[in-house]
Amino acid sequence: MQSRKVCIMILTFMFVAGFILAEGKPEQESAAGAKVGPQYGGTITYFNSRFTGDPPSPDPTLSQFNSLPFLLHIQEPLFLGDMEKYGPRGSGVSKFQYRGYLNPDLIRGNLVDNWEVTYEKITLHVRPGIYWQGTNMVKKVMENRELVAEDIAFDILEFWKECPWGARFNGILKDVYAKDKYTVIVELETYSRLALYYFGLEDRSMYAPPEMKAAGAGKWENQVGTGPWVFEEYEVGSHMSFRPNDIYWAKATIDGKQYKMPFADRIVCPIIPDEATQVAALRTGRIDLHQRPPAPQWDIIDKTAPGIKYASYSVSVYMVEPQMTWAPLDNVAVRRALMVGTDLRAFAILQYSEDTPIDVWPNYYLDPTVYVPLKDRPQDIQILYKYDTALAKKMLADAGYPNGLEIPLTIQPGAQYQDMSSLLQDQWAKIGVKVNISTVDATTLSKMQYSANYPGIAFSGTEMCDPLNTLLSQCHTKSIGTWSNRNSYSNPKVDELLDKAAASLDPVEVANLCKQAGEIIDREVECIPLYGEVWRHYWWPWLQNYYGELTIGDEGPGQLMAYTWVDQDLKKSMGF
């Protein structure tokens, strides 16, 4: 068997160095400035960007995206980020501000305490002594009992066979079964570095008992699990709340001492559709943490909420995607001219992203294992990032369009898209390109993009944190017409490099292959990367033992809230 360290590498490759922080281990201070320890009691109210509407069915087989941030309080994944060891509480290696990905060298076992991976199978060792909490604040769903290997195997099989997202396992998984009480065997038809992520850490990989599903998995009052919280109530249009799981197995280590979790007496997740109301609730202290308020609201928060803290980071890139099946955008010379004629810095300023570099694609600029600084790239790539209308005009003429051309742009309603399309229209008019803007509803545009069936260009965004999976999903021929390769980009050499990287167990080789693929993608202008989309989340300092992490899983801060507590004295001293 491989060692645990090697197995982590198999999931994907490491790039810890890109997230080294200067900060040491912080201390918590009271209102008087004295260091204080954990406090039990109180209510934590936090807002997630998906809490703008009532959640859909919690049935795991449906994988309803907007139900998952609520469920993660109750049910747990196989792995989590080890923030106590690697985050600001520990070595400070990472801020844990990933999204859609977690550096595999920073994870720890959660429901499993160890695992091994080979090309043929994945062996999961279930952590003994974890119990299903079968009674929530509404009803008794089942008897409390120990989590065993059969539960994990059942859930993976159900995900694979019954869930719409389980199709991703077709051709990868061969069989899943419990070898004994605490050992799960996942036999592989084809090795994939993503398999373990999809059923071990992704936001849809939360585990629930078979008894809960038999009781009716589509009802919130039937939700039970092994997590730090139990369901309390769901008031339509208002909130969902949770109470502590009194048999929760995990403990927090603070200053070398272990403490029972969770610390708070209650978690409240408010449902607030209106942005102004969300921000007002934050500013007045009714919300302790707001994940991702809209950028236009940042100045308001900064000026009207003295003492509040925030974390700022970029996890995705927003781009112009030229449809490769639409002439003349199938001509790389035309795409290169259009990029030279695009003022990328102006888009970054427009979208509050002026502090990010302009070369945010195709390799994540915060990952030094794959990122090559622009000054070190070939000259024919560097020239693409220098805004030059005269050169862009000449390039278009050399490509056969001395009199310019017309390009359709399809957008969805919204001020952001209107502002961006107007800016692009003005910029390209200076190089003789007329942008014809048409607006359709978001659903129609999604269908057009996901079927790779739109004329001209469209705006789109993609997550950047996972260096290999980002390129596989966005730039591989086999991903055309999926949720990510919307513009039909295809290059046999890129496919060859990415396939080789996906099959490699050597993280250095994977990184080098991604860099090689990235250079081709960059040179061919697979897209025009407009800006790195910057996010912020704000929190009040009375939310203690919290240091600005985005998540220790795949989505949302809910799992972090078990580690945090409310300093009531500090809150009172701040006037709340």
Q: For residue range 529-545, what is the model confidence (pLDDT) as tens digits?
A: 999 988 899 999 999 99
More confident residue, 406 or 8: 406
Q: What pLDDT was estimated at residue 23?
A: 29
Per-residue H/E/C for 134-160: CECCCCECCCCEECCHHHHHHHHHHHH
549 pLDDT higher than 70: yes
299 pLDDT higher than 50: yes
Q: What pLDDT was estimated at residue 30?
A: 45
314 pLDDT higher than 90: no
Q: For residue range 219-231, what is the model confidence (pLDDT) as tens digits?
A: 999 999 999 999 9
> Max alpha carbon distance in the chain (Å)?
76
Q: What pLDDT was estimated at residue 55?
A: 93
* Distance (Å, whole) CA 84 – CA 87: 6
Mean pLDDT, rounded, of the chain? 90
Q: For residue range 257-293, what is the model confidence (pLDDT) as tens digits?
A: 999 999 999 999 999 999 999 999 999 999 999 998 9
428 pLDDT higher than 90: yes
Please provide the CATH number assigned to the domain covering 314-533. 3.10.105.10
Q: For residue range 89-127, what is the model confidence (pLDDT) as tens digits?
A: 899 888 888 877 777 778 999 999 999 999 899 999 999
What is the residue extent of each domain of the chain? 4-27+35-308+540-573, 314-533
C-alpha atoms less than 13 angstroms from C-alpha of 346 in its C-beta half-sphere: 15
The answer to whether the bond into 88 is cis (omega within 30° of 0) is no
CATH topology classification for 4-27+35-308+540-573? D-Maltodextrin-Binding Protein; domain 2 (3.40.190)
pTM of the model: 0.80
Q: For residue range 360-396, what is the model confidence (pLDDT) as tens digits?
A: 899 988 777 889 999 999 999 999 999 999 999 999 9
* Distance (Å, whole) CA 310 – CA 491: 41
15 pLDDT higher than 70: no
Q: Which of 123-132, 190-199, 469-478, 499-508 has the highest mean pLDDT?
A: 123-132
C-beta of residue 366 within 8 angstroms of C-beta of residue 19:
yes
